[in-house]
Amino acid sequence: MIVRSEEHADHGAIRAVHTALFPTVGEARLVDALRAAGHLCVSLVAEEQREVVGHVAFSRVSVLGAIDGVGLAPVAVLAAFRQRGIAEQLIREGLALCKRSSHGFVVVLGDPHYYRRFGFMPASGWGLCDQYGAGDGPRTERGLD
Ligand SMILES: CC(C)(COP(=O)(O)OP(=O)(O)OC[C@H]1O[C@@H](n2cnc3c(N)ncnc32)[C@H](O)[C@@H]1OP(=O)(O)O)[C@@H](O)C(=O)NCCC(=O)NCCS
């Protein structure tokens, strides 16, 4: 299994992964829209025998109107390839690339139990909230230094 940056030829496979694994096409469309808008900072695929089996995206986010961080979403791995650390490798390599690109922080909306292993902490600890009133429980933020 290799993890590498997405290429143009991967776009259809990435769309197929998210369409298959999320209840709606929302995530697949989100990735397409972020890419089209030039907001995808990091987009990595996991490839097994030339097949895209997983994907993670990081895109620009703004705080008080200033773009200074990135958001992690979505991440998905085909069911047959789960529990092998593929998502973990996608996320760790993505975070390393974000850090190298000098993005100041990463936010993620997800399960605290899963994301804590990458260093994410509750957003409230950083004085962060969002315009949608999402609760603090599932919302986490991670500093990059
Ligand atoms: C979440 C997902 C990407 C994990 O992929 P993976 O390659 O199996 O992940 P890893 O092998 O790195 O890690 C497995 C861990 O993820 C946990 N996990 C699986 N699905 C999860 C979910 N929806 N939320 C939180 N944690 C989850 C497993 O319990 C396991 O935890 P453990 O290490 O404590 O046992 C995969 O299950 C998936 O694609 N799910 C559907 C899409 C999705 O819900 N994405 C996340 C929200 S954007």
Residue nearest to ligand 1 atom 40, measured at CA: 76
* Ligand 1 proximity of 3 Cβ (cutoff 6 Å): no
Place of tokens 């690339």: 97
Query: Which CATH class name applies to 2-104?
Result: alpha beta
* Three-state DSSP class for residue 136: coil
* Choice between 139 and 20, residue whose per-residue pLDDT is larger: 20
DSSP 3-state of 27: helix
Sequence-distant (≥ 6) Cβ neighbours of residue 94 within 8 angstroms: 42, 44, 56, 58, 72
Residue 110 clears pLDDT 60, i.e. is over it = yes
Q: Does ligand 1 come within 6 angstroms of the Cβ of 74?
A: yes
Q: How many Cα neighbours within 13 Å face the side chain of 139?
A: 14
Return the domain boundaries, the chain: 2-104
How sure is the predictor about 134, in pLDDT bands with cuts at 50, 70 and 90? Answer: low
* Main-chain phi, psi angles of 97, to 5 degrees: -65, -40
pLDDT of residue 137: 42
Say if ligand 1 is within 6 A of residue 71 CB.
no
Question: What is the reported pTM?
Answer: 0.90
Q: How confident is the model at residue 32 (pLDDT cuts 50, 70, 90)?
A: very high
pLDDT digits (tens, 9 = 90+) for 72-109: 999 999 999 999 999 999 999 999 999 999 888 899 98
Residue among 34, 83, 93 to mutate when testing ligand 1 (max atoms within 8 A of CB): 83
Q: How confident is the model at residue 7 (pLDDT cuts 50, 70, 90)?
A: very high
pLDDT tens, position by position, 49-69: 999 999 999 999 887 777 689
Q: Is 73 a pocket residue for ligand 1 (Cβ < 6 Å)? A: yes
